[in-house]
Amino acid sequence: MNVKLIGFTPNPEKIPAMAGMLTHSKSKPEDLEKAPEKQLNTVLKQVLKLGHTSVIEHTSFTFAISDVSRSLTHQLVRHRIASYAQQSQRYVNFNKPNYVTPPKISKNKNMKEAYDETMKNIWEQYNKLLEMGIPAEDSRFILPNAACTNIIVTMNARSLLNFFELRCCLHAQWEIRQLANKMLKEVKKVAPTIFKNAGPACKTKNICPENKKDCPMFPK
């Protein structure tokens, strides 16, 4: 899995701070650009502390994500407030095997051999369909959820906070949890104040939506 932050709103924390300040100010928006950085940072921290996260919707982040499974992207696109551009199995020829192997299968030698053999057979049949003149848009029907894909994702900061609450959780599926943690690491580099306390709900709200009391992260 490769995750790279390839774009984000300029001044990702200044603009939300200006938006927060504007709601309690007689000043025009353009005048707030001149506000001292320290003052803007203080305002942003206070707004976030109060839970008024609508202002951070003015900041968005774009990620380039590659070598993840179709199983992962099926989960990812359930997050509605986002924009997606995914590699097409209809127009791209996937004649060479490229797939994700779950860690629990990798650790079991016999299971790993059976898994790899299954994938080999699938791709052999996929290529046979292509050779028979079946278009890729129909041949792709036999490709597995494990098939690798690439996707570009854009989310605003508020949507990302929600995404991290759900997907950084230890009970989230392992692959999308890995993705969420990598994305969180990337955005913290450019917007440390916004994402300072980002993470699963047990960290951000001191609650466990799953009510998994045996979880090591369960709120005390």
Enzyme catalytic residues? 167
Phi, then psi, of 26 in degrees rounded to 5: -85, -10
Q: How far is CA 200 from CA 9, 171, 181, in A?
A: 24, 10, 10
DSSP assignment of 141-172 equals GG--TTBEEEEEEEEEHHHHHHHHHHHSSTTS
Contact 77, 84 (CB under 8 A): yes
Q: How far apart are CA 88 and CA 177, in angstroms?
A: 24
Enter the tokens of residue 105. 């299968």
Q: How far apart are CA 18 and CA 15, in angstroms?
A: 5
Q: How far is CA 156 from CA 28, 56, 92, in A?
A: 24, 7, 29
Contact 144, 99 (CB under 8 A): yes
